[in-house]
Amino acid sequence: MKKIVAQVLNRKFSVLFLFIISSILIGYAYKALPIRQGDGYEYALILQSFFNHLSPDIRQVDINSLLKIIQTQPSSYDATVLQKVLKAFNQHKNEIYLGILRSNHGEYFGYHFWLYSFISLPAKWLLAILRLNELKAFQLTNTLWMILTLKYVLLFSKQSPFFRWSIALLYVLGCSFFYLKWPHPEVFLAACILIASCAFLDCRFHLAVGAATLATLQNPSVIFLVASVLLFFIAKDFRLSAFKNLVQWLKPYLWMVLIAATSFIPYFFYYYHYKKLNLITVRGFVNPSLISSDRFFSTLFDWNQGLIVGFPGILIGVAIVLFYRLIQIFLHRNQPVLRSVDALLPAFFLMLLPTLSQTNWNHGQEIFSRYAFWTTMVLIVWFVANLETFRGFIQFSVLAVALGLQLLPNEIFFRHAEDGHYLKMKPQATWFLTHLPGWYNPDPEIFAERTRGYERFGETIAPNPIDAPFIFLDRTGKIRKILLYQAQALQTESRLCGINGKLASNDGDNPVATLLAKARFNPQGWGYLNGSFQCALPLSLRFSDGGNARNFTIQGWSKPDAEGSWIKSRESSLVLPIVPPNLRQVRLRLKLRVDAKLVKDTPQLAVVVNGQQVSQWQLENPGQVSEYEAVIPSQGLSARSPLALNFHLLPSSQSIPISDAPGQVKVMEFEITTSRL
């Protein structure tokens, strides 16, 4: 009787929890501004094509319809992107947008399969009927998949209340909120994988195979979860005598095999339209030769985008479980080495394996790698299923540790969402690079793009040697880590500090030449230099593409071109890690060009050093290269590095206030020199 009462109360509490969390999720999805992340334009165009004519081929009417919505509804989508797509469409180009390619029959399809856009169609219909922002269709669809997942776990799973509530809490705290707004299938994939993993433990093998297969239609890597479930089910009932009547033995598996076979639909679809099985592979966005143990380690433990950042509770919890099971096996010889739930572990590792082949390793994300996010759903189920074998106090203690650790990323990145951007160093990574730079050696692409704040997308293997070296500056202006390219290692000082530049080490026992001689490089030719460094004067910067200025620019600068970088806002900043010698004065020289269109209203440029204005120039000679000089008196210099330098763009007396749009003043070269006492 007590057991029945407990079950009824648990169910009622589960329904109440579902109602509360569903209300929060739906309210958040309704109020949140739609964002364009990753391949958002592609998915949005495919969704619009389904909305207009119930087919995934993108037509002119679809581009025009989506363009109108973007122009009238608030979002982070850019109408100019769709205008370029429309222009390319009218010119019958083979690729009208990244990954939207013309087929052999003249139609346009995205290189991602269209399932995710299709399942977002009901939400778009509803929003259109209610005359609401149709760009919220994806975040509303993601919300419904989160609710569906929680409903299965809490109300339909056959497992214990401890299992169900542990899974639900870890799922909610597992950064799903951060991907909820994405016009991307991450939440959908995570939902399918979590339901499949739970259904596997419930021995609902048809549901497990079906949910996992649904995910494979959007990401082929999930086929390994399908295979794990099928192989376990077949092995479970395997008998040698079954071969005497093979057809009869195979009957129970027939439906599951047929369901799993639908995983190949995307391959048939693309082969029919393009005579290619996979457009992503054809476009060169994956390269199997890049799969390595280093990348696998990066997926788990990188302090910028690894599992340790978004799922610290799960990673630590899994480590505790593995240690506990090893102890149990050692102490109790009759303890089984493997359990049925362990079939999920190879699925996790094998699902991750294809994701390691991406050429764009520092990809768009929220908090941590989106591939690590959805693959970890099987780890959540494996972790909690193993917790059920623990004894009372230990069981709840380990769960409390896991849940407590999962609060950390939610606390950090909900309060400071901008810290989760994929072109910015995470706070954890910044701490290691500042205090223990030798302990954190990220993939070169991660380090290069996050220190510079921009990426060269489309390269086979980033970063580009032309931009080397790359540096990390701590708050005191010391260079704590340098990413070198082996072929240019001997030119590190000049490439970093300018022509005839010298790099001074603050560690007298390890001069730069010695450290360079000891540097180790990976097969692609990249290596790190750790320590504490500054540039000796004179220091010269080139703002052109391939120049060294990008190492020191902080804000307000455009991407460099062949000539230089535009000042793109009213204030632009540099931080210069120079050696603070005993100086009388510092002289700086700036070479720049004013936009030729500003013939009458040339702006003024104020130079502020360490918070004090040292000069103000009336810029002249529009369209021509001009040089300007200023002297920084000794009292204007800080006693320690760095030298903070700000350029303030001011309107002339005749002109109206300057906007924040780029394209008025382009900086080409900068030099700072000094004379000693």
pLDDT digits (tens, 9 = 90+) for 141-184: 999 999 999 999 999 999 999 999 999 999 998 877 889 999 99
- Contacts of residue 145, defined as CB under 8 A and 6 or more positions apart, other chains included, come to 187, 188, 191
Q: Token digits for 654?
A: 């005749």
Residue 479 three-state SS: strand
- Bridge partner list, 432: none
- Bridge partner list, 566: 666
Element (H, E) at 570: none
The DSSP string of 320-339 is HHHHHHHHHHHH-TTS-S--
Q: Token digits for 365?
A: 């994300």
d(CA 488, CA 151): 57
Q: Which of 523, 515, 464, 522 is nearest to 493 (CA)?
A: 515
pLDDT for 429: 93
Element (H, E) at 605: strand 604-609
- Contacts of residue 449, defined as CB under 8 A and 6 or more positions apart, other chains included, come to 362, 422, 423, 455, 462, 463
470 or 247, which is more confident?
470
> pLDDT grade, residue 222 (50/70/90)?
very high
Whether omega for the bond prior to residue 56 falls within 30 degrees of 0, making it cis, is no
Residue whose token pair is 């950090």: 412
d(CA 295, CA 335): 34
What is the DSSP code (8-state) at residue 152? I
> 332 with 405: CB under 8 angstroms?
no
Whether omega for the bond prior to residue 642 falls within 30 degrees of 0, making it cis, is yes
Please state, for a pLDDT cut of 70, what percent of the chain lies above it: 89
Q: Give me the half-sphere count of Cα atoms (radius 13 Å) on the Cβ side of residue 184.
A: 22
d(CA 627, CA 620): 10
> pLDDT grade, residue 653 (50/70/90)?
low
pLDDT for 620: 82
pLDDT for 654: 44
pLDDT for 677: 43
> pLDDT grade, residue 577 (50/70/90)?
confident
Q: Which residues of 515-540 are buried (b: 16+ CB within 10 A; e: fewer)?
A: bbeeeeeeeeebbbbbbbbbbbbbbb
pLDDT for 655: 43
Angle between helix axes 377-387 and 392-415 (nearest 10 degrees) is 150
Angle between helix axes 79-90 and 40-53 (nearest 10 degrees) is 70
pLDDT digits (tens, 9 = 90+) for 408-457: 887 777 677 677 788 889 989 999 999 999 999 999 999 999 998 877 65
The strand order across the sheet containing 470-473 reads 470-473, 479-485, 526-536, 502-505
Residue 376 three-state SS: coil
d(CA 152, CA 145): 11
d(CA 631, CA 588): 6
pLDDT for 21: 92
| Lowest mean pLDDT, pick from 407-416, 524-533, 547-556 | 407-416
Q: Token digits for 643?
A: 């030298």
Q: Token digits for 573?
A: 């900043």
pLDDT for 330: 78
Mean pLDDT of 207-223: 95
Residue whose token pair is 């800080």: 638
CATH 2.60.120.260 positions along the chain are: 549-676
Distance spanning both ends of the chain, measured CA to CA: 92
> 194 with 380: CB under 8 angstroms?
yes
Residue 221 three-state SS: helix
Angle at the Cα of 317 (from 313 to 321), degrees rounded to 5? 175
* Whether residue 661 has pLDDT greater than 50: no
The strand order across the sheet containing 612-618 reads 553-555, 571-576, 643-650, 604-609, 612-618
What architecture (CATH level 2) is domain 549-676? Answer: Sandwich (2.60)
413 or 593, which is more confident?
593
* Whether residue 248 has pLDDT greater than 80: no
The DSSP string of 156-213 is I--S-HHHHHHHHHHHHTTTHHHHHT-SSSHHHHHHHHHHHHHHHHTT-HHHHHHHHH
Residue whose token pair is 């390994």: 224
pLDDT digits (tens, 9 = 90+) for 273-300: 999 999 988 888 888 888 999 999 999 9
Q: Token digits for 612?
A: 């004090």
> pLDDT grade, residue 657 (50/70/90)?
very low
* Whether residue 574 has pLDDT greater than 80: yes
